[in-house]
Every structure is written in C-alpha cells, then in structure tokens.
Chains A and B, each alone.
Chain A
Amino acid sequence: NAGVTQTPKFQVLKTGQSMTLQCAQDMNHNSMYWYRQDPGMGLRLIYYSASEGTTDKGEVPNGYNVSRLNKREFSLRLESAAPSQTSVYFCASSEWSGRGGNQETQYFGPGTRLLVL
C-alpha cells in the first residue's frame, strides 16, 4: 500500500514550457485534490475531483488544468509555465469518516518541487 504517489519529485522549467504532474492513489478514495504550498501562505487548493469523472476549480485555478483519468489517477497540467507558478505541489486523496460519515480526512503525497525560470 503506497498511499499517494507523485511524479516527478523535482522539475525545472523555462517560462512558457508545459508539463504534467502525475498523481496516483491506491486507497480506493473517491476524492482527490491538487494544492500548492508557498512560504508563509499555507496550502491553497488549485483543483479538486469529488469523484471519478468530475473536476472543479479551487481557490487558485488560473494557469492550470486537470484530468481525472480514472479513480486512481489525477493529473495537473501547466500549459505555459510562469515564474509565479514556482511552488511545491501536493496531491491528496480523501476518505470520509466520523459521525454520520460527513468528516473528510486528506492523505497527502510527498510533493513535486517546481522551479520556473
């Protein structure tokens, strides 16, 4: 049981280049998320997928696209990278628990460190 895996671990891009960040989970979770983490700003939600076949914008979606390929995989694409997208990107998946099954706990991957020059 690997949990949430992300590739690549580290990437350097030039402004204007494109790339796709890959994420997979083996916990049979329905919901998956992409966050970015910047110093002093906490984690900010980029996109999420409540279930296979659905995706929705989060707090900072501009400049990104996502694909929920199947229940296991959720990819994040940068079509034309900009220096402002230099960040650490985390993928997460979640399970529902608690009283009434209405509390969600997110499990995070190890992150992808992206530098855009």
Chain B
Amino acid sequence: EDQVTQSPEALRLQEGESSSLNCSYTVSGLRGLFWYRQDPGKGPEFLFTLYSAGEEKEKERLKATLTKKESFLHITAPKPEDSATYLCAVQASGGFKTIFGAGTRLFVKA
C-alpha cells in the first residue's frame, strides 16, 4: 500500500537555527514527490517537485532532497515567517492519486 509518513509532527526552532523535516514514503513506482507549504486557514501552496533519487531543489531558505525511500526539506537560518505546516505528497506512476502525509508544523521564534 502506498504510504507517506512525515516527521516530526511539530518542530520548534529559534530564528537562525537550521534543521530538517523528513518525509518517508513507500510507493509502487514514484512519478513525483511534492512539497507544499500551508498557512493556517489557507490552502496548500506548491514549493517543489522532485522526480528521481539524488535530485535537489532550492528556494530561498528551503532545500529539498530525494532518496529512494525518503525526502528531506532542509531549512537554513529560518525566520518567523517560515512558520507554517509543510506537507509532503507522492504520486505513483499509472494513476491520478496524490497521497499526502499528515504534515510537519514548524514554529520559528524570533
């Protein structure tokens, strides 16, 4: 069964304290792995798509990496405005279904 597990459930950081969020997945043929950011009361906002093991993508203070079993979202020198829930999702080849993890809630304190 296709599955996505994100850890930790919640992460509290001081401003400038770098860390990583984990997304472990099992899927029968990976078409793509996605990272989204979700602010309270809003819909998810697309961040990255990763297609194959070894791939990396960056956007401002965020860097996403992918292996055959997991993906990491590295946050370098976070700011309070990075506080949000970060969602990981995978798409299996051969279908339209996107499977989401439960998310990691990130709190960055000034």
Binding site for B on A (CB under 8 A): 4, 31, 33, 40-45, 48, 50, 56, 58-59, 90, 92, 97-99, 102-111
Contacts and interface: CB of A to CB of B under 8 A. Distances in A.
Contacts of A99: 51
Given A98-B32, A98-B49, A109 B43 contact: yes
Name B's interface SS. strand
23 contacts: A33-B98, A42-B101, A42-B103, A43-B87, A43-B89, A48-B96, A48-B97, A58-B97, A59-B97, A90-B43, A92-B43, A98-B49, A98-B51, A102-B31, A103-B91, A104-B31, A104-B32, A104-B91, A106-B44, A106-B98, A110-B43, A111-B41, A111-B42
Contact of B102 (A40, A59, A106): A40
Interface residues of B, number: 23
Interface of B: 4, 31-32, 34, 36, 41-46, 49, 51, 87, 89, 91, 96-98, 100-103
Name A's interface SS. strand
